[in-house]
Amino acid sequence: MKKLSTTFLLFVLLSFTPVDEAYAQSEVSNGYNPLSLRQVHESYLMWKRTLWRRVDLMEKQNKPFFAINRELSKVIIEAVQNGVLIPYSSDSVNDSNIMAREDFLTNIQQETFEEDDPFGGGFEEDDPFAAFEEDDPFAEEEVVEETGPVFIPNREFSIFEIKEDLYFDRVHSRIYFDIQSISMYLPGDSFYNNSGVEKPVASFRFIDLYNLFKSMPKEAIWYNERNIAQHKNLGDAFLLRLFKGIIVKVANADDIRVSELYSKSRKEGIMASFKVEQDLMEWEANLWEY
């Protein structure tokens, strides 16, 4: 009887517990990162750092990600246009910064000049050398057709930034790289970039990209030019770390990049990135002493 009363009391308490609160509690105590492709409980993490890598797909080692008509940027852009991939406005890729599809399309459109823009072509009214044509009363009225937005070619988006966690799994006694998000940029030297600096387009969850790549085995490929019978899926290529990218930022309290620490010259910034990479490898070796 006492056992029955206890069971009934527990049932009553659970019945009056708000569903949202119960879900929130389970979500907080879950201990797993929803952005991770390889799910590892936080209690297994002995050490973790967050890194940002800049990947230039025009570099020789990264060319397989950028094969003609199979560009990584092409796969991503078409997926967003078709509504099967969600873009985000920052690399934190949480629900609070989901980018509207219209905003994404605006980011990949060519910039247009206003009619009165002196740098956009045409003549000004007070220009004495401007061409002047009289109105022809017998001329047919010219019909101006409205055209849709003109998009920047997919191959122009060749810069990507990878945000990843580097952690030591105490259970398996090894270091893992866990890609969290990938951001796409328009290079500063692109003909379609008037600002001259790299223009961020959008960020994407890597777990979403991985599932997208796996659903497109014939389109989303890492092109193996040495053996075309052994192309790899883009998702597998990222997991196998077939890309080459330099570290541009390590998580820090001031949220500054490596180049800002060594701003004297571009060469010093690049050397500093390699130094960070070497320090991480040395740290991994030292972990085996514990």
Query: Could you report the per-residue pLDDT of 179-191, keeping only the tens digit for each?
Result: 999 999 999 999 9
Q: How confident is the model at residue 128 (pLDDT cuts 50, 70, 90)?
A: low
Instruction: Let me know if residue 7 belongs to a domain.
Output: no
Average pLDDT over the chain, rounded to whole? 81
Instruction: Let me know if residue 98 belongs to a domain.
Output: yes
Please check the confidence at residue 118 and state whether its pLDDT lies above 80.
no
Instruction: Let me know if residue 187 belongs to a domain.
Output: yes
pLDDT for 21:
38
Residues in CB range of 186: below 8 A, 6 or more apart: 152, 156, 157, 159, 192, 193, 198, 199, 201
CA 267 to chain centre: 26
pLDDT for 139:
56
Residue 145 or 92, more confident: 92
pLDDT tens digits, one per residue of 259-274: 777 666 667 777 877 8
Judged by DSSP in three states, 155 sits in helix
pLDDT tens digits, one per residue of 21-41: 333 333 444 889 999 998 889
This prediction has a pTM of 0.77
Going by C-alpha positions, the residue among 157, 197, 188 that lies closest to residue 77 is: 157
Residue 217 or 145, more confident: 217
Residue 201 to residue 99: CA distance in whole angstroms: 10
pLDDT for 236:
97
Residue 286 or 137, more confident: 286
Cα 90-236-91 angle, rounded to 5 deg: 5
pLDDT tens digits, one per residue of 246-258: 999 999 898 888 8
Please check the confidence at residue 208 and state whether its pLDDT lies above 80.
yes
The count of other CB atoms within 10 Å of the CB of residue 187 is 18
Instruction: Let me know if residue 27 belongs to a domain.
Output: no
Please check the confidence at residue 5 and state whether its pLDDT lies above 70.
no
Q: Which of 54-58, 131-135, 220-224, 241-245 has the lowest mean pLDDT?
A: 131-135
Instruction: Let me know if residue 13 belongs to a domain.
Output: no
Instruction: Let me know if residue 194 belongs to a domain.
Output: yes
Count: domains in the chain: 1
Q: Is 198 exposed, middle or buried (0-12, 13-18, 19+ CB in 10 A)?
A: middle
Instruction: Let me know if residue 205 belongs to a domain.
Output: yes
Contact, 47 vs 170, CB < 8 A?
no
Instruction: Let me know if residue 64 belongs to a domain.
Output: yes
Q: Which of 77-81, 137-141, 201-205, 268-272 has the lowest mean pLDDT?
A: 137-141
Q: How far apart are the first and last CA of the chain?
A: 54
What is the token pair recorded at 237?
């290529």
Mean predicted confidence (pLDDT) in 151-178: 93
Domain that holds residue 77: 34-109+152-287
Going by C-alpha positions, the residue among 111, 76, 67 that lies closest to residue 199 is: 111
CA dihedral 117, 120, 125, 126 (to 10 degrees): 90
